[in-house]
A = this chain, B = another copy of it.
Amino acid sequence: MRGVQVGMETALERYLPLPSSVPQRLHEAMHYAVLDGGKRVRPLLAFAAGALFEAEDAELARAAAAVEMIHAYSLVHDDMPCMDDDALRRGKPTVHVRYDEATALLVGDALQSQAFEVLADGRLPPQRQLAMVRVLAQASGSRGMCGGQAIDLASVGRNLSRDELERMHRMKTGALLRASVLLGALAGKALSAHETQALDAYAAAVGLAFQVVDDVLDATADSATLGKTAGKDAADNKPTYVSILGLEASRELAERLRMDAHRALEQFGEQARHLRDIADLIVQRKA
């Protein structure tokens, strides 16, 4: 999977506007926001899902780049002073610290447009390419990632039930992880309702596991390992799985979700091994 991560840097760079092109400062900041950092979980998911149906690498790289640009834009905006006000991301100063707030705002806005431009410019049958644009747009918007972020903001200092917390995460991070899986699979072929359902179940389990593990790491790891400020959720009085369930039950939940993810893939056989590996990787990661 290291190969996907290295190849992904090349693909992301290719699908961004040249940093030497006008407006240079904005383009440089877009590169700064996207390149040379991150675990690339969404591209990994897209490539692993593409392997189910023998999707071509070029089309997978395009889909993965689009979804990673959406993710990168959301981080730039989330880090801004009016949101999480974070100064460190992936071990580097955040975009509004390195550049300025107005540039960070525009970097996020322009990366979102770029994601749709890249995706709409693919070489797959137009019907399928259009379906991919719809999947990405739904996952990004007010009933997906942005909506989850809004619920997250409104929940600071409140007591959320476990169901409320789960819904928030299903939108805030789950929606885009699901889109990564579906986009990768759609790069291979049009999906049956049955296949979509199985991939949804997998993505739901992996997405939630990802968040539970994030909460565990935020409570237990240090900033240097994470490449971002640790212990921030507790300091911000944000509800987390650890604050609701406790540390040990959160670890058990992550493990159960890992098994759910494996079970959802049963119909796909050996072709699904990359997706299985990612579920393991997400739950067993240390940062």
Binding site for B on A (CB under 8 A): 17, 21-23, 25-27, 30, 73-74, 77, 80, 82-83, 100-103, 105-106, 108-110, 112-114, 116-117, 120-121, 125-127, 129-130, 133-134, 136-138, 140-144, 146-147, 149-151, 153-154
Contact = CB atoms under 8 A, between A and B. Distances in A.
A23 B142 contact: yes
A147 B26 contact: yes
Contacts of A21: 143
Please give the count of copies of this chain that the complex contains.
2
Contacts of A117: 134, 137-138, 141
A102 B83 contact: yes
A26 to B, nearest CB: 4
B147 A110 contact: yes
Nearest to A114: B141
B130 A116 contact: no
The 4 closest A-B pairs by CB, nearest first: A113-B141, A82-B101, A117-B137, A126-B126
Contact of A142 (B17, B143, B146): B17
Contacts of A137: 113-114, 116-117, 120
Given A105-B83, A133-B133, A137-B120, A146 B25 contact: no
A146 B110 contact: yes
A102 B23 contact: no
Q: Is the interface of A mostly helix, strand, loop or mixed?
A: helix
Residue among A109, A110, A114 facing the most chain B CB atoms (10 A cut-off): A109
A115 to B, nearest CB: 8
A25 B134 contact: no
Contact of A106 (B114, B121, B127, B150): B150
A130 to B, nearest CB: 5
Contact of A114 (B26, B77, B80, B142): B142
B147 A22 contact: yes
Contacts of A110: 141-142, 146-147
Contacts of A116: 116, 133, 136-137
14 contacts: A17-B141, A21-B143, A22-B147, A22-B151, A23-B150, A82-B101, A83-B102, A103-B150, A112-B112, A114-B141, A117-B141, A120-B133, A126-B127, A130-B133
A132 to B, nearest CB: 9
Nearest to A121: B134
Contacts of A130: 120, 126, 129-130, 133
A147 B111 CA distance: 11
Given A17-B141, A21-B143, A125-B126, 18 more contacts: A22-B151, A23-B142, A23-B147, A23-B150, A23-B154, A27-B142, A77-B105, A80-B82, A102-B153, A103-B153, A106-B146, A106-B149, A108-B109, A114-B141, A120-B137, A121-B134, A130-B130, A133-B133
